[in-house]
Amino acid sequence: TNSLPVYSQEEVIKHCSVEKGVWVTYKGGVYDITDFVAIHPGGDKILLAAGKALEPFWALYAVHGQEHILEILSEYKIGILRAEDNKKEDTETADPYSTDPARHPALIVNSLKPFNAEPPPAILTDSYITPSAIFFKRNHLPVPRVDPKTYRLKIEGLPGGTVSLTLDDLKSHFPKHTIMATLQCAGNRRSEMNKVKQVKGLNWGIAAISNATWSGAYLRDVLYHYGFGPEVAAKARHVQFEGLDADVTGTAYGASIPLNKAMSEEGDVLLAYEMNGEDLPADHGFPVRVIVPGVVGARNVKWLGKIIISEEESQSHWQQNDYKGFSPGTDWDTVDFKSAPSIQELPIQSAITNLTDGSSVDRDMENLTVKGYTWSGGGREVVRVDVSLDGGKTWHVAKLQNSEEREISAPSPPPGRAWAWKFWEITIPLPEGVQELEVVCKAVDSSYNTQPDSMPPIWNLRGVLSNAWHRVRVKVK
């Protein structure tokens, strides 16, 4: 008993712009989404489907395969698609993710297509250098399969015109450097922010962060070699990166970093072709990715296809309309993405990895050991981690570890170049007569930046920069 009107495909196609109205079809239903276009979290890409079926687009952006998204869509239903127009060919497309690589079964999957996953926290701090197989994976699109023989890295914006390098050029013409750097997604710990008030984005736990060694050529060496000099420096302000992963329109994943970070002798920006001593795995950008140490994961572009030295920042969706921070008072109706700078260096972070919220410990235990990781952006070294068992009333200083060897600390990196995380650990006598512990950690970096005590004051609609004290409640039984 459906009283909704029946529309032909011909009628739907007429509604293909904001002016004419935006209609789409989904599983035989017709939807007028004109009013939703401006508030779509994925930006104006939604217009690609105007007048058409949503299915092939949602096959590519599989974030949409969630209950709450179907609920949003249902609000806009205006009719039924005429039976003879509801053709299978329009809605069934080859799965663009069918060539994605195999993944480790230990990973906690946040989204399958595109593939987004993090290791279980307890495994994360078992090795100071995260094994590549369990290193968190954050893909916006299908993994492109790149043939290393035909691979070319293009560079635009240098005086001699466009440069085109082979993988062999990169490996043989430039000194190979190895750096250790931790990557963290801007959305790490988003799930805790989500508990304050719903945000939009993948529901990451505390492990959208991992540490690896990366080897390759310094970006600055390559740019100087191909003619970077004072006349380019006088005009240019940014270095843009484009991936070889592209959406339905052929638009590549893109991001940019400030020119001074790219060219600084102390920036250590790397065109990496190895991760943990082996060729980059497909998920992490084979054959070449840029590693921008100290800077948010999003700018560390994988499957690097093009570098552009420019006056402007990248115009990509991810640089302009995503990965920015806002006031807790800003919502999807009032947000102006132009009003905030793109995230580059990340703030200080720490989290507890060996205890989980709601778990319990034995009352007869004399001591409680608490472990975790800590890291700060911009190469700022973490100088201290404080741990509390009573929600922050009293504190203990944890032992820091910055090397692969347990119990051993490597010398401090040069000031401003602490790119790798530290592990920390502390054993504290179990307080007597308590039913529950609120275990908390917070870190302090070399600029004496520390973490905010709670999430509400830093809540933002996209759920990024989530770095409040990590709090874990543990029952004593």
Widest pairwise Cα distance in the chain: 74
Could you tell me which stretch among 38-46, 339-347, 351-359, 399-407 binds ligand HEM (CB under 6 A)?
Answer: 38-46
3-class DSSP state of 157? coil
Please say which residue, 43 or 391, places its beta carbon nearer to Mo ion: 43
Could you tell me which stretch among 86-94, 96-104, 152-160, 298-306 binds ligand MTE (CB under 6 A)?
Answer: 298-306
Q: How many residues does the chain have?
A: 477
- How far apart CA 346 and CA 375 sit, in angstroms, is 9
What is the closest distance, in whole angstroms, from the C-beta atom of residue 342 to ligand MTE in the complex? 12
96 part of the interface to ligand MTE, by CB under 6 A: no
298 part of the interface to Mo ion, by CB under 5 A: yes
Centre a 10 Å sphere on the Cβ of residue 211 and count the other Cβ atoms it contains. Answer: 23
Residue nearest to Mo ion according to CB distances in the complex: 185
The single-letter DSSP state of residue 86 is -
Please say which residue, 136 or 273, places its beta carbon nearer to ligand MTE: 136
- How far apart CA 212 and CA 233 sit, in angstroms, is 31
Could you tell me which stretch among 73-81, 133-141, 169-177, 258-266 binds Mo ion (CB under 5 A)?
Answer: 133-141
Catalytic residue from among 218, 323, 470, 471: 323
Could you tell me which stretch among 12-20, 42-50, 133-141, 386-394 binds ligand MTE (CB under 6 A)?
Answer: 133-141
Please say which residue, 140 or 225, places its beta carbon nearer to Mo ion: 140
410 part of the interface to ligand HEM, by CB under 6 A: no
185 catalytic? Reply is: yes
CB 273 within 8 A of CB 171: yes
From 57, 76, 135, 204, residue interacting with ligand MTE (rule: CB under 6 A): 135
For the segment 422-441, give every residue that binds ligand HEM (CB under 6 A): none
78 part of the interface to ligand HEM, by CB under 6 A: no
Q: Which does 107 bind (CB under 5 to 8 A by kind): ligand MTE, Mo ion, ligand HEM, none?
A: none
Q: Which of 295, 287, 300, 319 is nearest to 153 (CA)?
A: 287
3-class DSSP state of 477? coil
257 part of the interface to Mo ion, by CB under 5 A: no
- How far apart CA 386 and CA 450 sit, in angstroms, is 10
- How far apart CA 9 and CA 18 sit, in angstroms, is 18
Each residue of 239-261: b (16+ CB within 10 Å) or e? bbbbbbbbbbeeebbbbbbbbeb
Encoding tokens for residue 345? 């260096």
What is the closest distance, in whole angstroms, from the C-beta atom of residue 187 to ligand MTE in the complex? 8
Bond preceding residue 347 cis, omega within 30 of 0? no
299 part of the interface to Mo ion, by CB under 5 A: no
Please say which residue, 64 or 396, places its beta carbon nearer to ligand HEM: 64
Q: Which does 319 bind (CB under 5 to 8 A by kind): Mo ion, ligand HEM, ligand MTE, none?
A: none
- How far apart CA 261 and CA 295 sit, in angstroms, is 10
Please say which residue, 287 or 463, places its beta carbon nearer to ligand HEM: 463
23 part of the interface to ligand HEM, by CB under 6 A: no
Amino acid in the structure at residue 227: G
Tokens 């070889």 locate to 244
Distances (CA, A) of 244 to 145, 219, 241: 9, 18, 10
245 part of the interface to ligand MTE, by CB under 6 A: yes
From 72, 108, 129, 361, residue interacting with ligand HEM (rule: CB under 6 A): 72
From 48, 62, 123, 196, residue interacting with ligand HEM (rule: CB under 6 A): 48
DSSP notation for 380-425:
PPEEEEEEESBTTSS-EEPEEE-SSSTT--PPPPSTT---S-EEEE
**Which positions touch ligand HEM (CB under 6 A)?**
24, 33, 36, 40-42, 45-46, 48-49, 54, 57, 61, 63-64, 69, 72-73, 140, 200-201
- Residue ranges that bind ligand MTE, judged by CB under 6 A: 135-141, 183, 185, 243, 245, 253, 283-284, 297-298, 300-303
Catalytic sites, residue numbers: 40, 64, 138, 185, 323
Question: Interface residues with Mo ion (CB under 5 A)?
Answer: 138, 185, 297-298
